[in-house]
Every structure is written in structure tokens, then in C-alpha cells.
Amino acid sequence: MQWSTLAASSSPGGKWPLEDKRILITGAAKRIGRSIALHLHEKGARVLLHYGHSRQAAEEVASACAWRGRPAPLYQADLSKVDEIERMFSEIGESGDGLDGLVNNAGRFKRVPALEMTEADWDYIHSVNLKAVFFCCQQAAKLMLERETGGRIVNLSSLGGIRAWGDYAHYCASKAGVIHMTRSLAKAFSPAITVNSVAPGIVPFEAHDQPHVLAGIQLTPAGRAGSGEDIAETVAFLMSQSGFVTGQTVAVDGGLNLV
């Protein structure tokens, strides 16, 4: 496939319908990843689901996202290991049906005060939040370039990649890295593939009674916490646009980055 031929995926005003598109969501078993999988499935996409440890929860999402009577395909990989990422994408390639889209959702989050941070703490966050996002983008792009319709990538970053949180320097750096890497890869993969990012604000799933979470929600101009659906709608919006929206980060945070 010629690179120039793939520019067709960026034709003026042309949308990128989600129907029948094969879209991989990492960390799809629970929480935001689950919401994204269910939403893209509702929009007609054929979702592929990655999970790390949560096999049972992933199987439930796969049943809910069945396509032509068959559960959505599941892929297991420890994303902190590049060889496991490469194996997962080989398996997807060998399935013969190709890949149209990728949502890099899987992530790690851990509070570590800066003066107590160890190399292991730093690598724990960066191996998944930044390194894995790069190698998943790389591997996915190789498959997407085989498609005449090009591809779409959406990376989950964070409000923490925009605002500075003192006890999360490693996390904030990893998510700021995702935002800027999204811009670099948007250039690297243009015009065939768009690469955008969604930066969630506070999206709690358990009872959120921790004082700093409650304080954050009270500060949020929208007057509430975010939901998985808030994030999923924006992911679907970015995926379905023409090829003229790329390299962008949309904060889905109820305006918290403005405070």
C-alpha cells in the first residue's frame, strides 16, 4: 500500500464511520476501558479487548460486545513488557482480519512523594503509562497501514499531564509524555492515521470518600465527577472524525484544568 494512497482516509469532510471497524482497547475489562469498549460496540465497531489480570471481567465485556453471535476476541498481555506487546499484535495480525483502531487505555497510578521515589517506582509507572503506549502505537500502526481506510489511535492521558501534582511527579511526567508523544506520532503516521488524546479529570468508580477526591470534585466547574461514558463519548468522537483532527488532546474534566 502506497503512503499517498492512504491519504484518502483524510478526504475533506469525510468521516470515518465506526461501523465494522476493528478497534483494540487496552485494559478493557473494567472502569473506563470497559465503558469505551461498550460504547464503541454500541456504535457498531468490532471491538478487540486486551486485559492484563482481569480475565473474568474481560470475558463479561466480551460477551456484552459479541459480534455475529461470537464474543469479542480477548488478548492477554503484560504491557510493561515490549515482547508481550509484540506478541499480542502478532496474534491480532495472524487473525487475518487486520486492525483499524487502537485505544491506549491501560494505565497505572500510584502516589509516591518525590523525595521517597525510587527507580522502581519510576519504572513501574513509565513502563505502562508511556513506554507501552509508544510500542502499542508502533505495532498498531504497522497493521493499520495495511488498510486502505487508514486508522485511528486515541491515547488516554490525564489531567495530571496538564496540571502539576506534587506527590505524583512520575505519573504526571508519564502523562505529559503521552500528550506530547501523541503530537509526534500524529506527524509520524500522517496522513493515514490520526493520533489524538483524551485527558480525563476525576472519574471515580468506587465510593469516593477520600478528602482530596471530594475536594477535586467540589472544585470541578461542571459540578460533578466524570463518568466512563463521558470519556467514551469523546474517544468515539475523535475516532470518527475526518483525518483533519490529529495530534490534539481533549480534556474531559468538567473544566477542572481551568481552575
Answer for the pair 50, 37: CB distance below 8 angstroms, yes or no.
no
CA distance 75 to 90: 11
Binding flags for ligand NAP, 45-74, as an x/- string (CB under 6 A): ------xxxx--------------------
Q: 3-state DSSP call for residue 6?
A: helix
The DSSP line for 21-76 is -EEEETT-SSHHHHHHHHHHHHTT-EEEEEESS-HHHHHHHHHHT-BTTBPPPEEE
* Binding to ligand NAP, residues 102-121 (CB under 6 A): 105-109
Q: Rounded to whole angstroms, what are the CA distances from 19 to 35, 44, 97, 144, 236?
A: 18, 4, 15, 16, 11
Nearer to ligand NAP, 156 or 176 (CB): 156
The yes-or-no answer on residue 171 being catalytic is yes
* Residue 220 contacts ligand NAP per CB under 6 A: no
Q: Is the peptide bond before 12 cis (omega within 30 degrees of 0)?
A: no
Contact letters (x/-) for ligand NAP, 197-216, by CB under 6 A?
---x-xx-------------
Residue 221 Cβ vs ligand NAP, minimum distance, rounded to whole Å: 17
Our CB check for ligand NAP shows the closer of 159 and 186 to be 159
Q: Is 101 in the site for ligand NAP (CB under 6 A)?
A: no
**How many C-beta atoms lie closer than 10 Å to residue 129's C-beta?**
29
16 by DSSP, 3-state: which?
A: coil
82 forms part of the interface with ligand NAP (CB under 6 A): no
Looking at the Cβ atoms of 190 and 234, the one nearer to ligand NAP is 234
102 close to 140: Cβ distance less than 8 angstroms: yes
**Does position 251 bind ligand NAP by CB under 6 A?**
no
Binding mask 133-172 for ligand NAP (x = CB under 6 A): -----------------------x-xx-------------
Positive or negative: CA dihedral 61, 175, 114, 227: negative
Show which residues are catalytic.
171
Binding site for ligand NAP (CB under 6 A): 27, 29-33, 51-54, 78-80, 105-109, 128, 156, 158-159, 200, 202-203
